[in-house]
């Protein structure tokens, strides 16, 4: 895909093979971008975020510990930086301004981190959580101690400790509240402004680990996905189930709602990018097979998401996918026409044989 067309992609997806895929849903096209020119599993993309230039730049976190810089204006990678220290893959990326000198600061967030999430309203605030690593809120411009440290819920009815496993986190708009989803199929709301460090609301969905959560445009509900590909909308005011969406064929890895339109992007291990229309009988708007297992996604938040201007295509040039499809249908129709006379001749011969057997004296006594 040309660089001029890359800026109009609606969704960017990171894959398990180290490819950054840009998907234009209006044109029904997907393009692959790699820094080295070849897919490499050791460069599997585990995290994506917009860069300092808004949607003109993407930061790509890879399994080899590098963060690559991709320009959507030019349609190419423009550089990378190695991030030393730590183990495992990136669990989140955040673009933060105000750190001069190019120095490195490290916050000790503990083991088993599953997600780091940045507050869109306060970019210097991030939250972390994981397996036996309770929710914490950090100020990247302040102390190396967390601003808020969640407290585990009370013991269960058998007086046994409830395990902690926060899989994903989101900040609620116009407040300090956060919502998490857990590996024990719980959705919890925390309020750091409250003296209570335990959840102020808890709901459960299904029986399987929840892997991703995203806020709906109104901010009053969230959509969660689990390891069995199920998607559901949960009301954050009463903790009740509002409805379910057509799910995936494998574990959900990435979810994101459009900030102003009732649209949801989802991806996962079934290698399919889906765009759902929330609370609409039609449900599924787009479905694109992308060949690789998908780990994360970025959904464009621009207002002209659906009615962007189309750039002129080369004259007399038909996309190869459409050409292959047309040739396939043409060959099937031709084959059907060739087989039709043979079928008619066979049926005619059978009917003639039946009529001959029914005639009197047609068989010897």
What's the pLDDT tens digit per position in 127-149? 999 999 999 999 998 888 999 99
The pLDDT of 13-21, averaged and rounded, is 95
The pLDDT of 50-58, averaged and rounded, is 88
Calculate what percentage of the chain has a pLDDT beyond 70: 80
Written as six digits, the tokens of 286 are 């787009």
The pLDDT of 246-270, averaged and rounded, is 94
The pLDDT, as a whole number, for residue 126 is: 96
Q: Which residue is listed with tokens 């709901």?
A: 203
Q: Which residue has the higher pLDDT, 356 or 101?
A: 356
Q: Which residue has the higher pLDDT, 258 or 362?
A: 258
The pLDDT, as a whole number, for residue 350 is: 59
Distances (CA, A) of 217 to 42, 126, 264, 266, 278: 35, 21, 10, 15, 10
Distance (Å, rounded) from C-alpha 267 to C-alpha 248? Answer: 8
Band the pLDDT of 344: cuts 50, 70, 90: very low
The pLDDT of 294-319, averaged and rounded, is 67
Q: What is the dihedral of CA 55, 257, 171, 235, to 10 degrees?
A: 170
The pLDDT, as a whole number, for residue 112 is: 93
Band the pLDDT of 337: cuts 50, 70, 90: very low
Band the pLDDT of 354: cuts 50, 70, 90: low
Distance (Å, rounded) from C-alpha 165 to C-alpha 136? Answer: 13
pTM: predicted TM-score of the whole model, two decimal places: 0.81
Decide if 267 contacts 273 (C-beta within 8 A).
Answer: yes
Strand partners, 37: none
Is the pLDDT confidence value at 334 over 90?
Answer: no
The pLDDT, as a whole number, for residue 253 is: 96
Instruction: Return the closest-CA partner of residue 6 out of 78, 67, 76.
Output: 76
The pLDDT of 30-38, averaged and rounded, is 86
Distances (CA, A) of 41 to 19, 61, 64, 298, 328: 9, 13, 9, 20, 33
Is the pLDDT confidence value at 19 over 90?
Answer: yes
Band the pLDDT of 98: cuts 50, 70, 90: low
Rg (CA), the chain: 27
The pLDDT of 217-233, averaged and rounded, is 95
Cα 197 from chain centroid (whole Å): 30
Is the pLDDT confidence value at 231 over 60?
Answer: yes
Written as six digits, the tokens of 298 are 């970025």
Query: Which domains occur in the chain, in start order?
Result: 1-106+252-274+285-304 (2.40.10.480)
Q: 320-330 pLDDT, tens per residue?
A: 444 344 444 45
Distance (Å, rounded) from C-alpha 228 to C-alpha 250? Answer: 6
The pLDDT, as a whole number, for residue 360 is: 59
The pLDDT, as a whole number, for residue 262 is: 92
Q: How many helices (H) and strands (E) does the chain have?
A: 2, 24
Strand order in the sheet with 166-171: 166-171, 178-182, 186-190, 201-204
Chain-wide mean pLDDT for the chain? 84
The pLDDT of 313-334, averaged and rounded, is 44
């Amino acid at each position: 895909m040309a660089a001029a067309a890359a800026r109009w992609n609606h969704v960017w997806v990171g894959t398990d093979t180290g490819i950054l895929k840009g998907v234009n849903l209006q044109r029904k096209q997907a393009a692959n971008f790699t820094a080295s020119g070849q897919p490499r599993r050791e460069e599997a993309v585990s995290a994506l975020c917009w860069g300092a230039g808004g949607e003109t730049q993407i930061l790509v976190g890879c399994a080899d510990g590098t963060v690559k810089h991709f320009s959507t204006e030019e349609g190419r990678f423009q550089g990378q930086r190695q991030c030393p220290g730590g183990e495992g893959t990136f669990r989140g990326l955040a673009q933060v301004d105000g750190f001069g000198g190019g120095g490195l600061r490290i916050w000790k967030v503990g083991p088993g981190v599953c997600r780091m999430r940045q507050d869109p309203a306060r970019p210097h605030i991030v939250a972390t959580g994981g397996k036996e690593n309770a929710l914490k809120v950090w100020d990247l411009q302040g102390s190396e101690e967390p601003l808020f440290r969640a407290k585990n819920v009370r013991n269960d009815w058998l007086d046994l400790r409830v395990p902690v496993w926060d899989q994903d986190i989101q900040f609620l708009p116009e407040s300090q509240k956060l919502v998490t989803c857990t590996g024990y199929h719980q959705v919890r709301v925390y309020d750091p402004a409250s003296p209570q460090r335990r959840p102020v609301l808890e709901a459960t969905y299904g029986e399987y680990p929840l892997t991703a959560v995203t806020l709906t445009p109104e901010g009053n509900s969230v959509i969660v996905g689990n390891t069995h590909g199920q998607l559901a909308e949960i009301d954050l005011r009463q903790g009740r189930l509002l409805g379910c969406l057509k799910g995936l064929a494998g574990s959900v890895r990435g979810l994101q709602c459009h900030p102003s339109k009732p649209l949801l992007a989802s991806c996962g291990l079934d290698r399919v990018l889906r765009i759902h229309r929330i609370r609409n009988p039609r449900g599924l708007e787009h479905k694109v097979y992308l060949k690789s297992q998908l780990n994360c996604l970025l959904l464009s938040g621009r207002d002209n998401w659906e009615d962007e201007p189309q750039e002129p295509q080369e004259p007399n040039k038909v996309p190869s996918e459409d050409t292959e499809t047309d040739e396939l249908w043409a060959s099937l129709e031709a084959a059907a026409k060739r087989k039709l006379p043979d079928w008619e001749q066979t049926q005619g011969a059978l009917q003639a044989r039946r009529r001959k057997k029914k005639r009197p004296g047609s068989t010897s006594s």
